[in-house]
Chain A
Amino acid sequence: MRQESILRAIYDQASRANPYPLFAELRRTPVCWQEDGPDEGGTWVVSTYREIVSLLHDPRLSSDLRHCTQPGVDARALEPMPFIRLDPPEHDRLRALTMRHFGPPERPAFIEQLRPQIESITTSIVDGLVGERVFDVVTRVAYALPVRVICAILGVPLEDHPRFRVWVDALIQAFSKLTPEARAQRDQAGHALRDYLADLVRHHREQPGDDLLSRMATDTGPGAPMDDPQLASTAMLLLIAGHETTVNLIANGVLTLVRHPQWLERLRREPQLVVGTVEELLRYEPPVQLIPSRTALEDIAVAGATIPRGALVSLALAAGSRDPARFEDPDRFDPERSNNAHLGFGSGIHYCFGAPLARVEAQIALGQLARGLDRPRVVTDPPPYRPSPVLRGPRELIVEVDGVRPRDRLQS
Chain B
Amino acid sequence: MTVVGDEPYLPYDRPPLSKTVLAGRVPVDHTPLPRFRTLESVEWVLGVAAAELELARNQVVLADGRAIAFDRLLIATGTRARPWHDAEQARLDGVFTLRGRDDAEKLRRSLEARPRRVLVIGAGFTGSEVASVCRELGLPVTVVERSAAPLVGALGRTIAGRAAELQREHGVDLRCEVQVEALEGDAQGRLRRARLSDGSTVEAEVAVVALGAIRNIEWLGDSCLAVGPFGVACDAGCRAIDVNFVVTDDLFVAGDIARFPHPLYRQQFLSLEHWGNAVEQGAIAAHNMVCPPTRRRPHLAVPEFWSSQFGVNIKSVGVPSAADEVMIVQGSLEEGRFVAAYGRDGRIVAAVSFDRGRWIEFYARLIEQGAEFPLEMATGEGRPLGPAVPAGFPDAAVVREHATAILTGHDPDTRRVKLVPRRPRESPCAKRAS
Contacts and interface: CB of A to CB of B under 8 A. Distances in A.
A57 B358 contact: yes
Contact of B359 (A57, A105, A297, A309): A57
A87 B158 CA distance: 26
Interface string B313-346: 0000000000000000111000101000000000
Given A64-B380, A88-B381, A92-B337, A59 B358 contact: no
Contact of A349 (B311, B335, B359, B377): B359
A265 interface: no
B337 A59 contact: no
B406 interface: no
A87 B359 contact: no
Nearest to B379: A59
B358 A297 contact: no
A351 B359 CA distance: 12
A63 B359 contact: no
A374 interface: no
Interface string B94-129: 000000000000000000000000000000000000
Nearest to A91: B380
A60 B329 CA distance: 11
A89 B335 contact: yes
Contact of A63 (B331, B335, B362, B380): B380
Given A59-B330, A105-B311, A88 B380 contact: yes
Of listed A63, A298, A351, residue having the most chain B CB within 10 A: A298
Interface string A43-78: 000000000011001111011100100000000000
A131 interface: no
A80 interface: no
Interface residues of B, number: 18
Q: Is the interface of A mostly helix, strand, loop or mixed?
A: loop
A53 B359 contact: no
A53 B381 CA distance: 21
B422 interface: no
A409 to B, nearest CB: 35
A348 interface: yes
B362 A57 contact: yes
A61 to B, nearest CB: 8
Contacts of B359: 57, 59, 348-349
B378 interface: yes
Contacts of A53: 361
B358 A60 contact: no
A87 B379 CA distance: 9
A313 B337 CA distance: 27
B331 A58 contact: no
A58 B362 contact: yes
B378 A298 contact: yes
Q: Contact size class for A?
A: 20 to 34
A54 B363 CA distance: 10
Nearest to B332: A89
Contacts of A58: 362
Interface in B360-407: 360-362, 365, 377-381
Of listed B335, B360, B362, residue having the most chain A CB within 10 A: B362
Interface in A83-115: 87-89, 92, 105
A87 B381 contact: yes
Given A63-B380, A297-B378, A298-B377, A89 B337 contact: yes
Given A57-B358, A351-B358, A87 B380 contact: yes
B376 to A, nearest CB: 9
Contact of B380 (A57, A59, A347): A59
A297 B385 CA distance: 14
B362 A59 contact: yes
A88 B365 contact: no
A63 B380 CA distance: 8
Contact of A348 (B335, B337, B358, B381): B358
A380 B362 CA distance: 45
B335 to A, nearest CB: 7
A105 B380 CA distance: 26
A297 to B, nearest CB: 4
19 contacts: A54-B361, A57-B360, A59-B359, A59-B377, A59-B379, A60-B377, A60-B378, A60-B379, A63-B380, A64-B380, A87-B379, A88-B379, A297-B378, A297-B379, A298-B377, A298-B378, A347-B358, A348-B358, A349-B359
Given A57-B365, A64-B380, A89-B335, 14 more contacts: A57-B360, A57-B361, A57-B362, A59-B359, A59-B377, A59-B380, A59-B381, A67-B380, A88-B331, A89-B331, A92-B337, A297-B377, A348-B361, A349-B358
Please give me the 5 A-B residue pairs with the lowest Cβ-Cβ distance, nearest first. Answer: A87-B380, A297-B378, A57-B361, A62-B380, A57-B362
